[in-house]
Amino acid sequence: MQIYLPIAEMSVSIFLLLGLGTGVGFLSGMFGVGGGFLMTPMLMFIGIPPAVAVSTEANQIVASSASGALAHWRRQTLDVKMGVLLLVGGTAGSIFGVQLFAILTGLGQIDLIISLSYVGFLGIIGGLMLVESARAVMRRNQPAAPGATTDLRRKRHWIDVLPFKTRFRRSRLYISVIPPIVIGFFVGTLAAIMGVGGGFVMVPAMIYILRMPTNVVVGTSLFQILFVTALTTFLQATQNHTVDIVLAILLIVGGVIGAQFGARAGRHVKAEELRMALALMVLAVCVKLGWDLVVTPADLFSILPVGGEAH
């Protein structure tokens, strides 16, 4: 059954969109990532204009992260104070990113920048996470060197010397407010440019840079993503008129259902294995996008409307 999307101005199979929403929603609930880094490339692949795909995906992530954040709120695995600080940076980053997106679209280079950003970030983060989680799994399987982990945790880190320290009770941390704000800004920019919530950057940043305990990382990440993507959706709707509510609703319906099952499935898997699986998934998307950049394209020419606007 086909449905006509009023903003994307094309008709797409309703079941394809629902299926995409459910599948990506499952992964998002399981790993605490928005799933945008999977969904946005897929939407573009089925022919949705990039500007509409990015903006509408932000709208979908609002729903999936609201659902996830509420679940974590109930389980008290959400550090609101940390989330608010990340959000301060994220708001600025999102505003900056939407402007940058408009400029790059005008230059006709937005596709390349999106792909390069994906390959760069997914490659680095996926690689680091894979190595770390593989080590953690091996350590658990052969508990020969018990001192190693605690030493690593206690070691003085560069973020410990930064000023404006404050206490994050739920995360059991006493650190400067600067790193959360900087990380938030960075992720907010990515959210606007790449049509992602930024969870795949945020989650590892919170684990490895802020050294937050893993159990509050996912909830806090979802909390921040909720607000940043809400702002991104609003800015894209007002500035670029590229949010397609019909497309968004279909993806949301699939997504929220998938996310609930995913969150349940995630609780039965050990944290290290979950991180390793996420790392592998991130690397797979990275390799695919990287390959597409290098291999000779099927059509060397691309056709864009003058002025960069979708209409």
Partner 1 sequence: MLIALFASLALQPPIPTEAPEIVAALTQDVVEIREDFSGTELIIFGATSGLTLEDEIVVVLRGPDQDIRVMEKRRNFGIWMNSAPAEFTQVPSYYAIASSRPIELIADSAALARYNIGLDHLLRTAQPNEIGTMSGLEQVDGSAPRELPPMDQDDLETLAPYREAIMRTATRDALFAEASTGVEILNGGLFVAHMALPPRTPIGEYTAEFYLFRNGRAVDSSVSPMEVRKAGLERIIYEFAHQAPIMYGLFCVALAVLFGWGANAIFSRRG
Q: What is the CA radius of gyration of the chain?
A: 19
238 binds partner 1 (CB under 8 A): yes
User: DSSP states of 41-62 as a string?
Assistant: HHHHHTT--HHHHHHHHHHHHH
Which one of 109-117, 141-149, 184-192, 272-280 is the stretch in contact with partner 1 (CB under 8 A)?
A: 109-117
Among 100, 102, 245, 271, binds partner 1 (CB under 8 A): 245
Which one of 70-78, 89-97, 127-135, 269-277 is the stretch in contact with partner 1 (CB under 8 A)?
A: 70-78
Name which of 168 and 227 has its Cβ closer to partner 1: 227
Closest CB 9 distance from partner 1, rounded Å:
7
Instruction: Determine which helix (DSSP H) or strand (DSSP E) holds 166, and give its type and residue range.
Output: strand 165-168
CB 259 within 8 Å of CB 34? no
Which one of 135-143, 157-165, 271-279, 296-304 is the stretch in contact with partner 1 (CB under 8 A)?
A: 296-304
Closest CB 108 distance from partner 1, rounded Å:
5
How many angstroms separate the CA atoms of 300 and 293, rounded?
12
293 binds partner 1 (CB under 8 A): yes
Closest CB 252 distance from partner 1, rounded Å:
5
Closest CB 110 distance from partner 1, rounded Å:
9
How many angstroms separate the CA atoms of 285 and 33, rounded?
14
The full 3-state SS of 71-107, as one line of letters, equals: HHHHCCCCCHHHHHHHHHHHHHHHHHHHHHHHHHHHH
Buried b (16+ CB within 10 A) or exposed e, 232-256: bbbbbbeebebbbebbbbbbbbbbb
The CA-based angle 38-14-119, given to 5 degrees, is 15
How many angstroms separate the CA atoms of 79 and 248, rounded?
28
Name which of 152 and 293 has its Cβ closer to partner 1: 293
Closest CB 124 distance from partner 1, rounded Å:
17
How many angstroms separate the CA atoms of 276 and 257, rounded?
24
How many angstroms separate the CA atoms of 224 and 217, rounded?
11
Among 15, 76, 99, 109, binds partner 1 (CB under 8 A): 109
How many angstroms separate the CA atoms of 103 and 11, rounded?
28
10 binds partner 1 (CB under 8 A): yes
Among 134, 136, 182, 249, binds partner 1 (CB under 8 A): 249
98 binds partner 1 (CB under 8 A): no
SS3 295: coil
76 binds partner 1 (CB under 8 A): no
Closest CB 232 distance from partner 1, rounded Å:
10
Binding-site size for partner 1 (CB under 8 A) equals 60
92 binds partner 1 (CB under 8 A): no
91 binds partner 1 (CB under 8 A): no
> Among residues 114, 81, 62, which one has the least CA distance to residue 181?
81
33 binds partner 1 (CB under 8 A): no
Q: Which residues form the interface with partner 1 (CB under 8 A)? A: 1-4, 6-7, 9-11, 59-60, 62-68, 70-71, 74, 108-109, 111-112, 116, 226, 230, 233-238, 241, 243, 245-246, 248-249, 252-253, 256-257, 259-260, 264, 293-294, 296-297, 299-307
